[in-house]
Amino acid sequence: MKIENRLGKGLSAFFDNKNQVPVFNPSKNNDAQNVQEVKNNLQKEGVVYIPVGNIVPNPNQPRKDFKEEQLRELASSIEKNGLLQPILVRKTQNPAVFEIIAGERRWKASNLAGIYEIPAIVKDFSNKETFEIALVENLQRENLSPIEEANGFKKLLNDFNYTQEDVAKLINKSRSYVANILRLLYLPDEVQKMVSNGDLSYTIARTLIGTEDPLKMAKSILKGDLNVREAEKIKKEKVSKPKKDISNNNELDSELLSLKENLSSLLNLDVDIKFKNNKGEIVIKFGNLKELDNIMTKLNNNI
């Protein structure tokens, strides 16, 4: 079965074992013979036990924020009940060390619980496949913030030459959903942090995109000086007025401004649209040859 088909059916398609898998803690003096028998039976199903210290996280893990309280709750559950699913790992250049593909949260919680070794399934996946699975796992478990999600999509577009349509198919969402999430990355870093921390919701953050001073509006909303409806009204009033390009004396009406934002989102680059006397030009700004190559790839794939 191809990896794309497995992802489409959900992450559980990678696991043949559907039952909870026990974890063994030396401090509990588990019966050695029974433990080995359990391990031998699971190994026939593709599950092996790897010392927690021999496992390293994926440096490209989409999820960056792990809540300490939630980790402690999971650690307590794992210590008592075992793991609902083994983690998914791949080999590294060091034969004794394995890199996490899916299950970093479970690995962290197991480490927190003081467990010596945990069940895992070893797969031989590429960097691209590893990132796909890590992203899908987090999305299925609803663990990613909108900003983490947006950065994950951006990495697929920039590093693995995905189109937005490809990303949409991978996560079983619409292309417009992908485009809207990506637009969050046009917000100032401080506003993005507010979204990541949960201070600003995705809905409110979307309202701030394209406003003259998103940070100022975000602070006003958090202070209660401005509500979402008022922010939307200010944005509509700004967009509805023709925007003057002082350097070129060109005008962008609201429709062209929307097209400009959409194209910028699709390419993940700064785009300028100049229009006058029913003629115009599109300027796509790139920083290096790699970005130019990505533009050409996306255009060849009809974006």
pTM comes to 0.60
CB 192 within 8 A of CB 147: yes
Distance of CA 178 to the CA centre of its chain: 11
Task: Among 3-7, 26-30, 186-190, 263-267, name the most confident range.
Answer: 186-190
CB 107 within 8 A of CB 99: no
Question: 87-109, pLDDT tens digit by residue?
Answer: 999 999 999 999 999 889 899 99
- Mean of the pLDDT values across residues 77-95? 88
Catalytic residues: 104
Question: 20-62, pLDDT tens digit by residue?
Answer: 787 776 556 566 667 787 778 777 778 899 999 999 998 888 8
Report pLDDT for 255: 57
CB 136 within 8 A of CB 171: yes
Report pLDDT for 234: 67
Structural domains in the chain, sorted by start: 3-133 (3.90.1530.30)
Whether pLDDT at 157 is above 50: yes
Residue 89, C-beta contacts closer than 8 angstroms, at least 6 positions apart: 50, 55, 98, 99, 100, 101, 103, 120, 121, 122, 123
Whether pLDDT at 226 is above 80: no
- Mean of the pLDDT values across residues 222-234? 74
Report pLDDT for 221: 85
Expressed in angstroms, the distance from the first to the final Cα of the chain is 27
More confident residue, 301 or 226: 226
CB 274 within 8 A of CB 283: yes
Residue 167, C-beta contacts closer than 8 angstroms, at least 6 positions apart: 153, 156, 157, 178
The pLDDT > 90 percentage for the chain reads: 19
Whether pLDDT at 145 is above 50: yes
Report pLDDT for 141: 66
